[in-house]
Structure 1
Amino acid sequence: MTSEHTSPDGGLDAAEQDVIDKIEQEGVDFLRLQFTDILGTVKNVSVPASQAEKAFTEGIYFDGSSIEGFVRIQESDMRLDPDPETFAVLPWRADSDGSAARLVCDVIDTSTGEPFSGDPRTVLKDAIDRASELGYEVNAGPEPEFFVFETDADGAPTTDTHDAGGYFDLAPKDLASDLRREIIYNLESMGFEVEASHHEVAEGQHEIDFKYADALTTADNIATFRSVVRATTAQSDAHATFMPKPIAGINGSGMHTHLSLFEDGENAFHDGDDEFNLSGTAKSFLAGILEHAPALTAVCNPTVNSYKRLVPGYEAPVYVAWSDVNRSALIRKPAARVPAASRIELRSPDPSCNPYLALAAMIHAGLDGVENDLEAPDPVRENIYEFDEATREEYGIDTLPPNLGAAVEALEDDEVVTDALGDHIAEKFVEAKTAEYDEYRASVSEWEIDRYLAKY
């Protein structure tokens, strides 16, 4: 079985041959064939660049039983099919003892020759295909935030922030401005179009925004972005983390995600005659996201620590509502200067999520709203953080699950989102996250020791 990109005669197609040519031009010594496991951890198999043609025509085989949530030992043979459109030279390897390049891969089940149902990239492709069958292209634009911390004498990460800056601060408070610049240089060399970067609200916290793209490219970009940020930061003897809430009492890191559908090259979310410039399609898609928000939370906020961020008072959305004017709601309708920019912004995801699964779940939830012609509730223009419980009930505003355990239960009860993940990933994801939450519940924190040990 050859790659889907390979020409019918078994040779290389134009895109693959272009990669071979670039490898020679750039003097690339090694190829990192990249994929992600169910939990969103980037994995890679490194092969000599001389194996590039074989990688395209035959694929590269690996033991899937060694990857979290993939397959059992007796079903272990997997194959990586590299996507030539994702070729990029890794800039932080250029001055070392060997130049390396990256190719994102699809995982193939060798027993069937078909895409592996446990491959998160395949799951996202299936969601994109569903949208395509309805006549839509899906665009997404993320806003990933991260912290930069000092490392200790042994190179281990600490929680001592790299700088004392605040929102949009400049040097000397924002000591990481040079680091952000280096990250941006590396991103741009890999094909990113970076739109903005700035210091975030908390000390040591930063945001770098890159241009929206189709959903698959965006997911690939998020996985790449995290790798670039961490590798570049490590070269400065510091540590970058996408942990949602590394320090108590200050803002956590989110990954607000902008979503839109295009139909026949036009933005299907735009309606110039609507008060909010949102079409009926956009409102139904928005309603689908709200309808499935509890289950989406398990996928978009997949760690125990995620729920330390999702609390009132730290600019993180916990209320299932939408608004065009405030940021306390789960979904915001950003201002759009031109019709093509009309979109909705889901504010709950955090950067610890698996970008392929998160986007797939969002797409299926939104399309469920479109297919069933769901009606969006009225927008809430007041600050929901200031509402008491009675007022929230009056407005019909629910809250997101308060912890990972509740979110996983919501996921198990939601057929639309579990179907989005597929049987294999849904089962393995629930299994892994249930174990994580059970382990957390059984642990004893330093907070508990400080509060109770002497008192009782």
Structure 2
Amino acid sequence: MSTDSREEVLEKARESNVKFIRLQFTDILGSFKNIAITIEELERALDGKVLFDSSAIEGFVRNRESDISLLPDPDTFEIFPWRPRDGSVARLICDVCLPDGSHFPGCSRSALKRVLKRAAAMGFDLRAGAQIEFFLFMTDSEGKPTTVTHDQAGYCDLSPVDLGENARRDMVLTLQEMGLDISSSHHEKAPGQHEIYLREDSALTIADKIATFKFVVRTVAQRHALHASFMPKPVSSLSGSGMHLNLSLWSGGENAFNDDAGHLGLSQQAHHFIGGILRHAGSITAVANPLVNSYKRLLPNGLSPVLVAWSEENRSTMLRVPAQRGSDARIILRSPDPTCNPYLVLAASLEAGLSGMEGKTEPPPPFPENSPEIRDLIKIVRKEGLPRNLSEALRALTDDMVIQDALGEHISRRFLDSKEAEWERFQAQVHQWELDEYQLNY
């Protein structure tokens, strides 16, 4: 951290009468966490001297934990707009380090930085935007979330049908005050479902913004007596929530995916990047869709991204190439859901794309624009689909050293251990569907 950056943070904190600072970080499983310090500790924090134990990052406590520290990124200093200005609260997003200042191998932000550094050595920068979907649910008399949606509106409906319009507007305004650039927002297809689009930015910045986004949206929803849910499939009869990532690769100030003379107006680099992602689709899915519940969204219904394929228009493919070219040329990774760790899914996707470029991996032809009948789509998914459950995805990640190397050995091992235990806990439960389906006749 430069002296200028350090002094700028201290000066901003003094000018804004900041009393508390939240040092925020993301654990391996994608949960946004923080340690709160007083203003008197800020100088020590900026020097990376706030220590705690690694169980906060690992996601679980083991017999032996190591001491780790937080190193704030001064560019992420923001003041919470919902707190009183007299004695305000600010935040800094941090890298997780070892006491000697080296990066802790369980820091997912550092994992993304490592892959971005590899891309930079090849002459490329990754930019990304995120279209994030979520539900607004009513809360009960005790303030606990229900699965009763806040309205019965549909795609792009207005008030008074869209009862979440005021809450969504407050979310957008608060996000903007926190330094996030919002491209658009609207009501989604399902009752109570909304989408907010984070404008494209550098990959590390957009990962920080996604982590911030979920925290802010939940905070604002709570102030409206609502619960914002990012579960991929909270209600079986309603559409699931995804997080579409708009990806573009840049070199020398030019969009490396654009080529007016190329097939479909895309460069060879874009085709190879697509080929790399499709080759590693199964292991990317483990990171991009990390819950048992994630796979209730990834169903062959003609709208969900279930095919290891790419297309310009077909919504059943995990990758889509929208019509824009020139500086707007990009690919959309449609399969992730908003419960993923944004640092890890961007690291995995970028590594897969770069490996495709290095190996000149040719993608298959674009999938036909017209979706097949659902019964035919189900047959295609069995052969050419994404993993059908968390266990299948974890097996794919276990066998994929390219993506494991992108995450790092420490994160890969901890992630796999935790998620395999989650799958076993799920398998051990008897679910209501089983009782309804089998109890009477067996």
Superposed pair shares fold, TM > 0.5: yes
| Correspondence 1:219 to 2:207 | yes
Aligned pair partner of 2:131 in 143, 146, 163: 143
**Which deviations, in whole Å up to 9, do the C-alpha atoms of 1:223-282 show, x marking residues without a partner?**
000000000000111100100000002210000111111001111110011242210001
Query: Against the structure 1 CA distance between its residues 317 and 203, is the aligned structure 2 distance closer, same or farther, given a 3 Å change threshold?
Result: same
CA contact (8 A) 2:31 2:341 kept: yes
- Mapped to 2, the partners of 1:432 and 1:67 lie a distance apart of 12
Amino acid in structure 2 at the alignment position of 1:100: V
Query: Against the structure 1 CA distance between its residues 449 and 420, is the aligned structure 2 distance closer, same or farther, given a 3 Å change threshold?
Result: same
Amino acid in structure 2 at the alignment position of 1:44: N
Aligned pair partner of 1:191 in 154, 159, 179: 179
Query: Against the structure 1 CA distance between its residues 363 and 276, is the aligned structure 2 distance closer, same or farther, given a 3 Å change threshold?
Result: same
Using the TM superposition, give the Cα deviation of residue 94 of structure 1 relative to its aligned residue in structure 2, in angstroms. Answer: 2.9
- Mapped to 2, the partners of 1:116 and 1:73 lie a distance apart of 18
CA contact (8 A) 1:318 1:399 kept: yes
Query: Against the structure 1 CA distance between its residues 67 and 325, is the aligned structure 2 distance closer, same or farther, given a 3 Å change threshold?
Result: closer
**Hey, what does 1:10 align to over in structure 2?**
none
Over the matched positions of the two proteins, sequence identity in percent amounts to 48
State the TM-score, normalizing by the size of structure 1.
0.93
Aligned pair partner of 2:88 in 87, 93, 99: 99
Alignment length, in residue pairs? 442
**Hey, what does 2:68 align to over in structure 1?**
78
Using the TM superposition, give the Cα deviation of residue 30 of structure 1 relative to its aligned residue in structure 2, in angstroms. Answer: 0.6
- Mapped to 1, the partners of 2:223 and 2:58 lie a distance apart of 28
Consecutive unaligned residues of structure 1, counting only runs of 5 or more, are 7-12
**Hey, what does 1:9 align to over in structure 2?**
none
Aligned pair partner of 1:421 in 377, 394, 407: 407
| Correspondence 1:63 to 2:53 | yes
Give the SS at the match of 2:248.
strand
- Mapped to 2, the partners of 1:142 and 1:153 lie a distance apart of 34
**Which deviations, in whole Å up to 9, do the C-alpha atoms of 1:339-386 show, x marking residues without a partner?**
111000011000000101111000101111001011121111233442
Please identify, of 112-121 and 300-309, the stretch whose mean Cα deviation from structure 2 is larger: 112-121
- Mapped to 2, the partners of 1:313 and 1:355 lie a distance apart of 26
Using the TM superposition, give the Cα deviation of residue 85 of structure 1 relative to its aligned residue in structure 2, in angstroms. Answer: 0.4
**Hey, what does 1:288 align to over in structure 2?**
276
Aligned pair partner of 2:6 in 12, 16, 20: 16
| Correspondence 1:377 to 2:364 | yes
| Correspondence 1:355 to 2:345 | no
Amino acid in structure 2 at the alignment position of 1:64: S
Give the SS at the match of 1:304.
coil
**Hey, what does 2:241 align to over in structure 1?**
253
Aligned pair partner of 1:452 in 424, 438, 441: 438
- Mapped to 1, the partners of 2:98 and 2:62 lie a distance apart of 13
Query: Against the structure 1 CA distance between its residues 438 and 406, is the aligned structure 2 distance closer, same or farther, given a 3 Å change threshold?
Result: same
- Mapped to 1, the partners of 2:321 and 2:288 lie a distance apart of 19
Give the SS at the match of 1:363.
helix
Using the TM superposition, give the Cα deviation of residue 79 of structure 1 relative to its aligned residue in structure 2, in angstroms. Answer: 0.6
Amino acid in structure 2 at the alignment position of 1:263: S
- Mapped to 2, the partners of 1:39 and 1:57 lie a distance apart of 26
**Hey, what does 2:44 align to over in structure 1?**
54
Give the SS at the match of 2:284.
helix
**Hey, what does 1:240 align to over in structure 2?**
228
Aligned pair partner of 2:352 in 352, 365, 376: 365
- Misfit runs of 4+, over 6 Å: 390-393
User: How is 1:333-344 mapped onto 2 (pairs within 5 angstroms)?
Assistant: 333-336=321-324, 339-344=326-331
- Mapped to 2, the partners of 1:385 and 1:223 lie a distance apart of 36
CA contact (8 A) 2:48 2:70 kept: no
- Mapped to 2, the partners of 1:165 and 1:83 lie a distance apart of 40
Amino acid in structure 2 at the alignment position of 1:425: I
User: How is 1:393-408 mapped onto 2 (pairs within 5 angstroms)?
Assistant: 398-408=384-394
- Mapped to 1, the partners of 2:200 and 2:280 lie a distance apart of 24
- Mapped to 2, the partners of 1:49 and 1:233 lie a distance apart of 28
Query: Against the structure 1 CA distance between its residues 193 and 59, is the aligned structure 2 distance closer, same or farther, given a 3 Å change threshold?
Result: same
**Which deviations, in whole Å up to 9, do the C-alpha atoms of 1:171-194 show, x marking residues without a partner?**
111000000100011001011111
Query: Against the structure 1 CA distance between its residues 67 and 439, is the aligned structure 2 distance closer, same or farther, given a 3 Å change threshold?
Result: same
Tell me the C-alpha RMSD between the 2 structures. 1.9
Please identify, of 50-59 and 255-264, the stretch whose mean Cα deviation from structure 2 is larger: 50-59
Give the SS at the match of 1:33.
strand
Give the SS at the match of 2:264.
coil
CA contact (8 A) 1:330 1:347 kept: yes
Using the TM superposition, give the Cα deviation of residue 387 of structure 1 relative to its aligned residue in structure 2, in angstroms. Answer: 6.8
CA contact (8 A) 1:328 1:385 kept: no
Give the SS at the match of 1:19.
helix
- Mapped to 1, the partners of 2:390 and 2:257 lie a distance apart of 32
- Mapped to 1, the partners of 2:419 and 2:302 lie a distance apart of 25
Give the SS at the match of 2:141.
coil
Consecutive unaligned residues of structure 2, counting only runs of 5 or more, are none
**Hey, what does 1:305 align to over in structure 2?**
293
CA contact (8 A) 2:48 2:101 kept: no
Query: Against the structure 1 CA distance between its residues 80 and 272, is the aligned structure 2 distance closer, same or farther, given a 3 Å change threshold?
Result: same
Query: Against the structure 1 CA distance between its residues 75 and 68, is the aligned structure 2 distance closer, same or farther, given a 3 Å change threshold?
Result: closer
State the TM-score, normalizing by the size of structure 2.
0.96
Using the TM superposition, give the Cα deviation of residue 119 of structure 1 relative to its aligned residue in structure 2, in angstroms. Answer: 0.5
